[in-house]
């Protein structure tokens, strides 16, 4: 399995809190990889580290064979043409129409004439099913439509890597179904590498080829979704099955119950 | 005891770090304006939003301040029989001091807080992050046009303020209080020097424009991306800009006008 992203012994601290401690993982090329874990474990931070918005304290991150920790500002901006990130809120530019939003990266990075840009924008919007909504402003879109428009913007430059930050959060079943299908179809049709961060286990495992579970700042489970469901440590089992008690305890540490109540 | 010392030290360190971040931010944004057609179009759009849309408050304030100056000045000067000097009083006060300073304070309150809130909201909704991830530098695309627009608009607004104020002073002094129009304008013409008064006032407003715009965009860019963070940042913009303007006004006045 050829890897697109390789992370080796990553350490990252936020203030005094250690988020990642010697984290190592690989994201295979051309596949949908789900990165899952309990809340607050640093999954969004991991995406920001891969995308270069944050710098790790130590360790190496390889993107398509290149060590990104040594990139300067200019090299980063060139590398970012080949990657896209879908933020949780969509993050469409609120003062531009949907059309203008999708055209933004095309106008910023290419010198294509306006009629070609129009063709590309319409094709991308058609791929996500929003060709008719192109003149709407982001404030006029529903949550699901906002995310689809943001997805169209992410694929505007035909990137090699797309990172999804909690794409299924707060979506109704239809919108969720649409997104799930789009992520899978786009990955296969465009030959992308997709990294999906989510705590929606069912949806994430249903479309991913490879799953990585992160807890306590390191990888606790990795592999095909079917393998993870069968085997795995108690923590992996608790996470995947949504068990309330296990290695992540239900009770916050407290003294003896009887003494507390009666004594 | 040690906690107090530690906290004081921490505040000092945080303050230095913020000043440093602000300086680096300013250098990237100031020199980041794209001198292309697209960049200039963004700049013009921002000059409209920041400068042109502030005209109403500037003109109305200028008019009223000029009128009040003439009124108050007349009340004092009439005791010495010097009411003919009202033109010179109004003009010098406006051009040297009130024009640049009041315009800067109004600018900080209206345009500065709007800039901070806009940029802060873009940060909170991750629009700046997504722009960065698309390989477009938000400092060049979003911040630089706004910084330069404030920098260009402020002196122009200050000049308009002074001009409208003088007109307001004339309305009250000449038309209402009956000061002889000839002496109103003649005294003004003889006592207001271009290089000493008008130009110094313009230099002040350029400095104030730079400081107010810098504080406004930096507070927006640097805030904690929550609704409380935006509210704190807009308050900081207005307070810091106002204090900075008044402090710098004192320094600049001492430098420019002490020998006069």
Which residue in the set B122, B127, B135 is minimally distant from A109, CB to CB? B135
Per-residue model confidence (pLDDT) at position B259 = 66
Query: What does A50-98 look like in DSSP terms, one character per residue?
Result: HHTSS--SEEEEEETTEEGGG--HHHHHHHGGGEEEE-TT----TTS-H
B181–A contact, CB cutoff 8 A: no
Phi, psi of A258 (to 5 degrees): -60, -45
- pLDDT tens for B201-234 read 999 999 999 999 999 999 999 999 888 999 999 9
Query: What does A225-255 look like in DSSP terms, one character per residue?
Result: HHHHHHS--HHHHHHHHT-SSSSS-SSPS--
B118–A contact, CB cutoff 8 A: no
Is the pLDDT at A231 greater than 90? The verdict is no
Per-residue model confidence (pLDDT) at position B56 = 95
> What is the count of residue pairs from A and B with beta carbons less than 8 Å apart?
52
- pLDDT tens for B122-153 read 999 889 988 888 888 899 999 999 999 999 99
Q: Which stretch of A57-66, A97-106, B46-55, B66-75 has the lowest confidence by average pLDDT?
A: A57-66
Is the pLDDT at A242 greater than 80? The verdict is no
Query: What does B228-247 look like in DSSP terms, one character per residue?
Result: HHHHHHHHHHHHHHHHHHHH
Is the pLDDT at A148 greater than 80? The verdict is yes
Per-residue model confidence (pLDDT) at position B195 = 87
Do the chains contact at A80 and B129, CB–CB below 8 Å? no
The total of other beta-carbon atoms located within 10 Å of residue B113's CB is: 21
Is the pLDDT at B169 greater than 90? The verdict is yes
List CB contacts (< 8 A) between A79 and chain B.
135
List CB contacts (< 8 A) between A51 and chain B.
133
What is the total residue count of chain B?
260
Do the chains contact at A105 and B132, CB–CB below 8 Å? no
Which residue in the set B129, B135, B137 is minimally distant from A53, CB to CB? B129
Token readout for B22 is: 């602000």
Q: How far is A44 from chain B (nearest CA, A)?
A: 13
Per-residue model confidence (pLDDT) at position A243 = 79
Best mutation target, B126, B135, B137, to test chain A (most A CBs within 10 A): B135
Chain A, 87-106: which have a CB under 8 Å from a chain B CB?
87-89, 91-94, 104-105
CB A179, CB A90: distance < 8 Å: no
Which residue in the set A81, A91, A157 is minimally distant from B130, CB to CB? A91
């Amino acid at each position: 399995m050829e890897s697109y992203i390789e992370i080796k012994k990553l350490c990252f601290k936020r203030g005094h809190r250690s988020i990642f401690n010697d984290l190592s993982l690989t994201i295979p090329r051309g596949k949908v990889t789900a990165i899952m874990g309990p809340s607050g474990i640093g999954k969004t931070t991991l995406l920001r580290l891969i995308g270069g918005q944050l710098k790790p304290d130590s360790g190496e991150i390889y993107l398509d064979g290149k060590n990104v920790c040594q990139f300067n500002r200019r090299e980063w901006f060139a590398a970012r043409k080949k990657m896209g990130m879908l933020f949780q809120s969509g993050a469409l530019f609120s003062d531009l129409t949907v059309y203008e939003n999708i055209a933004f990266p095309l106008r910023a990075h290419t010198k294509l004439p306006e009629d070609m840009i129009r063709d590309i924008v319409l094709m991308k919007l058609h791929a996500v099913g929003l060709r008719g909504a192109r003149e709407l402003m982001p404030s006029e879109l529903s949550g699901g439509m906002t995310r689809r428009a943001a997805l169209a913007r992410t694929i505007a430059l035909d990137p090699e890597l797309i990172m999804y930050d909690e794409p299924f959060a707060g979506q109704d079943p239809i919108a969720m179904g649409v997104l799930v299908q789009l992520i899978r179809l786009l990955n296969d049709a465009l030959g992308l590498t997709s990294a999906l961060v989510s705590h929606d286990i069912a949806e994430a495992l249903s479309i991913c080829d490879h799953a990585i579970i992160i807890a306590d700042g390191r990888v606790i489970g990795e592999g095909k979704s079917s393998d993870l469901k069968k085997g795995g440590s108690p923590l992996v089992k608790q996470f995947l099955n949504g068990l309330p008690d296990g290695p992540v305890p239900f009770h916050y540490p407290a003294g003896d119950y009887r003494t507390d109540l009666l004594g | 005891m040690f906690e107090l010392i530690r906290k004081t030290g921490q505040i000092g360190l945080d303050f230095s770090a913020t000043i440093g971040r602000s300086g680096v931010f300013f250098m990237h944004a100031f020199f980041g304006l794209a001198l292309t057609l697209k960049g200039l179009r963004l700049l013009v759009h921002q000059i409209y939003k920041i400068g042109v849309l502030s005209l109403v408050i500037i003109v109305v304030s200028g008019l009223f301040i000029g009128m009040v100056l003439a009124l108050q000045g007349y009340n004092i000067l009439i005791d010495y029989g010097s009411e003919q000097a009202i033109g010179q009083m109004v003009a010098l006060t406006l051009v040297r001091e009130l024009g640049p300073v009041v315009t800067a304070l109004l600018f900080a309150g209206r345009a500065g807080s709007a800039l901070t809130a806009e940029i802060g909201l873009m940060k909170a909704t991750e629009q700046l992050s997504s722009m960065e991830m698309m390989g477009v530098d938000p400092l060049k695309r979003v911040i630089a046009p706004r910084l330069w627009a404030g920098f260009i608009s402020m002196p122009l607004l200050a000049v308009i303020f002074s001009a409208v104020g003088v007109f307001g002073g004339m309305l009250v002094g000449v038309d209402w209080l009956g000061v002889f129009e000839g002496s109103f304008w003649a005294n003004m013409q003889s006592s207001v020097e271009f290089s000493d008064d008008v130009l110094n006032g313009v230099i002040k407003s350029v400095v104030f424009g730079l400081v107010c715009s810098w504080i406004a965009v930096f507070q927006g860019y640097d805030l904690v991306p929550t609704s409380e963070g935006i509210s704190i940042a807009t308050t900081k913009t207005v307070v810091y800009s106002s204090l900075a303007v008044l402090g710098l006004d004192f320094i600049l006045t001492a430098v420019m006008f002490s020998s006069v």
